[in-house]
Amino acid sequence: MGKIARLIYAASEHSADLLYGCGFAAPDPFIWFETATGERGIIVSALEYSRALTEVHDGVTVYRQDQFVETGHPDAEALILAMAKKNAIKRFVVPESFPLGVAEKLRHHRIKLAVIDGCFFPEREFKVDDEIAPIRDALRLTTLAMYRATAIIGEATVNADNELIWQGRALTSEIVRAEINIRLIKGGGFSDSTIVAGGSDGSQPHNRGAGQLFAGQPIVVDIFPRMADSGYWGDMTRTFVKGQAPDIVKRAFNAVREARDRAKELIKPGAIPAEIHQFALECLKNSGFATGKNEKGHYGFFHGLGHGLGLDIHEAPRLSAANRIPLRGGEVVTVEPGLYYPEWGGVRLEDVVVVTENGCECLTECDTELET
């Protein structure tokens, strides 16, 4: 029995599977397919044809739309039908994210589609050296951007109202974020969502932060650039306090650092992500930081311990309470415990590790210091 033909229809700038499958980054959706005999191709518009030719992975054939449908502006389904007919394909395996609208039109023409359960390219979860290298590059740049943040907060002075002042003006989350993102651009990366969340903003894990920064309050800085050339992501979080940190923040910082570093020690082939997550949760609890919820929402440590990192910022495997599939080796994951309390803000510390033969190697090379 041969393989089953496979199909993706997506924009590779947003679909890591498609980018992995063909190497060609484009903002608009296009077709990727693999025949039962393993031949791979993409079908792109005239607009993208020449560029696609120069960027695709070896072994992927680039087709122009008019090689399948001669007239004007064919719909995706018309192109897929023509390609399927030419290759005598009646059934495709597609990713979970395959658009329902296209699926219904194909099924109307008796093309069978089977949704794959889980990863479309399972091998994407296990990084080879050619992938670890660009992730290291991304993390190296992330570190430089983090040092930029440290330098700015370090250079800032504090006025009588406890406000941070930098280069003669109020230092805001927006200014620090802009300086971080500029550093990323200079290094060939980009980020639209860098988090610089001071005080209570930091108690919401995905709050990007806004407005004046103050001394004596934690500032969560989470930097996750994508590299323009490779498409791989970096991801790192540190938490800073300008001046003297309140006792509760110091204790939370030490608890999170301990949870992060002890969790890393558990990461190795055979380890179960849910158990590592649970260990971190208990480690924080034993340090005096409970997790729960009240009328204001959740408090404590209420997100997963980490996530896979690669061509997607969040990919398999998750280090979460729900994932009981043992690690195998080759996975690149973040380890990012955090503590969040509306009363004083948040602390999160995030490194990236690759699972090795006997344990894991930390790919993040950046100090972990609270006061600056």
Rounded to a whole number, what is the distance in angstroms from the first to the last CA of the chain?
63
- Residue 326's identity, in one-letter code, is P
Q: Does 321 bind its own copies (CB under 8 A)?
A: yes
CB of 181 to its own copies, least distance (A): 5
CB of 212 to its own copies, least distance (A): 17
Of the candidates 143, 204, 217, 334, which one interacts with its own copies according to CB under 8 A? 204
Cβ contact 351:362 at 8 Å? yes
User: Which C-beta is closer to its own copies: that of 12 or that of 242?
Assistant: 12
Angle at 269 between CA 266 and CA 270, to 5 degrees: 85
Instruction: Give the HSE-up count for residue 298: Cα atoms under 13 Å, Cβ half-sphere.
Output: 11
Phi first, then psi: what are they for 109, rounded to 5°? -95, 20
Q: Does 86 bind its own copies (CB under 8 A)?
A: no
Cβ contact 241:371 at 8 Å? yes
Please give the size of the binding site for its own copies, defined by CB under 8 A: 59
Of the candidates 178, 211, 282, 365, which one interacts with its own copies according to CB under 8 A? 178
CB of 269 to its own copies, least distance (A): 24
Distance of CA 281 to the CA centre of its chain: 22
**Exposed, middle or buried by CB within 10 Å (0-12, 13-18, 19+), for 306?**
buried
Q: Does 121 bind its own copies (CB under 8 A)?
A: no
Q: Does 325 bind its own copies (CB under 8 A)?
A: no
User: Which C-beta is closer to its own copies: that of 50 or that of 254?
Assistant: 50
Which positions touch its own copies (CB under 8 A)?
A: 13-14, 26-28, 45-51, 64, 66, 72-73, 94-104, 113, 115, 174, 178, 181-182, 185-186, 188, 190-193, 203-207, 226, 228, 293, 296-298, 302-303, 313-314, 320-322, 342
